[in-house]
Amino acid sequence: MADTPHARSLKAQAAALATEGKLEAALAGYQDALRASPGDAEGHQRVAELLEWLERTPEAARAYDDAALAWTQAGDLLRAVAAAVLSRGLRGARPRTVLTLAERFARPPGALAPTFAWLAERPDTHVPVLSGVGREAFVALVEALEVRAFWPGQRVVEEGQPGASMFALVEGQAEVTRRVEGNARQPVATLGPGDFFGEVALVSEGPRLASVEVRQRSVLLEFKREALSRVSAAHPEVDAAVQDFYQRRLVENLLRTSPLFTQLSPTLKQAMSREFDLRAIPAGQVLLTQGQPGDAFYLLLRGQCQLSLSQPAGRTVALPELREGDVFGEISLLLDKPVSATVRTKTACVVLRLERAAFERHVVSQPGLKGLLMRMGTERLQQTAKALIV
């Protein structure tokens, strides 16, 4: 049932009472609003929250269950899951509630994973990881999640610190910042409901790449590595869904921000994103060998790589290192020549690899992108020539 003007007026009055600390009166106001508009998910949510604040725990648990079902009816997966998790935390969740969520939001039986092709028909219910698993795994996953509340000015994650979880913003707003010269913080993005963050540290077990600070009261779902590992042991599709989301996010961020790809059409970016292969490479491994045919185009996401050139007299010349954001392998593919220098990982690295056939199909066919790569390749060849002279 749609929210009525009368119900909206009652909710506004109840919200004002809650702000004044008159919780019992606010609760009565929201309950009156629900009688006027029984299907209002937000009304159910506020009733549950007030009951919890008033320490009427059994009633709060049932109200969170009602909110979860109302959010399900509204098609809001994250808020439905958050309400179900809060009900569970109060030891009052009805077993049927999470099953109802699974029937509405989980990957249908027989749908292929992890391609998510079926999501094209239901984009409104698509939430990373949760939408990519079957019903049994969905139920287990929801039972492993935690709800976290933050207030303005609180920092959820800190750049450079170890990370062991991923977050989904259910309601509220947060700001993403990164340190720049002088240790100042530079805003790089604003997050709103439905946004995820922290997946890089979760999967790679590396440090946080940015800080996230809440700008208004926010509710988040936390996906902890330890809990996900337990669920994945029984339901391997959960790990596959996490890995698929991680790879997609890396590729999408790269295609959105790299000067190489910003001019490509959204359709082409989507096609390319499906063909990049994400690989974690240990230190000391050779990715390209001088004199051998080039087999792929690489983008270095994390870590550093060494470039070296072997001379006929046995002399090996070190070339400028490759760092995060650099590409390599394009010269051999563009010119159809053997690899001009050996590339070896100096540190543990994460790379995106595009097979030769996909490179030729997506890159060589784009004059602007091909020209830019040719210029970058020419600059690297000039650097190589200078290194040989020295």
Q: Give residue 93's pLDDT band: very low, low, confident or very high (50, 70, 90).
A: low
Among the listed ranges 13-22, 270-279, 381-390, which one has the minimum average pLDDT value? 381-390
- Supply the pLDDT for residue 125: 52
Spatial separation of the C-alpha atoms in residues 19 and 17, rounded to whole Å:
5
Helix axes 236-257, 135-144, angle to 10 degrees: 80
- Supply the pLDDT for residue 381: 59
pLDDT tens track for 199-229 = 988 887 778 888 999 999 999 999 999 999 9
- Supply the pLDDT for residue 384: 57
Hey, which of 161-165, 177-181, 368-372 has the most confident mean pLDDT? 161-165
pLDDT tens track for 60-70 = 999 999 999 99
Give the start-to-end residue ranges of the domains of the chain: 5-94, 146-236, 267-389
- What is the CATH code for 5-94? 1.25.40.10
Contact yes or no for 127/79 (Cβ under 8 A): no
Residue 129's contacts (CB-CB under 8 Å, 6 or more residues apart) are 141, 223, 238, 241, 242, 245
- On average, the pLDDT of the chain sits at 85
DSSP string, 48-107: HHHHHHTT-HHHHHHHHHHHHHHHHHHT-HHHHHHHHHHHHHTT---HHHHHHHHHHHSP
- Residue 358 reports pLDDT greater than 50: yes
CA angle 178, 300, 309 (to 5 degrees): 130
Spatial separation of the C-alpha atoms in residues 282 and 124, rounded to whole Å:
39
- Supply the pLDDT for residue 246: 84
Spatial separation of the C-alpha atoms in residues 167 and 152, rounded to whole Å:
17
- Supply the pLDDT for residue 379: 67
Output the pTM of the full model: 0.75
Cis peptide preceding 114, ω within 30 of 0? yes
The answer to whether 5-94 and 146-236 have equal CATH topology is no
Among the listed ranges 121-130, 238-247, 285-294, 320-329, which one has the minimum average pLDDT value? 121-130
Residue whose entry in the numeric block shows the structure tokens 């090996």: 316
pLDDT tens track for 97-108 = 999 999 999 988
Retrieve residue 304's tokens: 């550093």
- Supply the pLDDT for residue 116: 38
In three-state secondary structure terms, 217 is strand
pLDDT greater at residue 246 or residue 387: 246
In three-state secondary structure terms, 294 is coil
- The residues facing 355 across adjacent strands are 296
Q: Give residue 325's pLDDT band: very low, low, confident or very high (50, 70, 90).
A: confident
- Residue 254 reports pLDDT greater than 90: no
pLDDT tens track for 42-58 = 999 999 999 999 999 99
Residue whose entry in the numeric block shows the structure tokens 């077993």: 95
Q: Which CATH architecture has domain 267-389?
A: Sandwich (2.60)
- What is the CATH code for 146-236? 2.60.120.10
In three-state secondary structure terms, 186 is strand
Contact yes or no for 343/294 (Cβ under 8 A): no
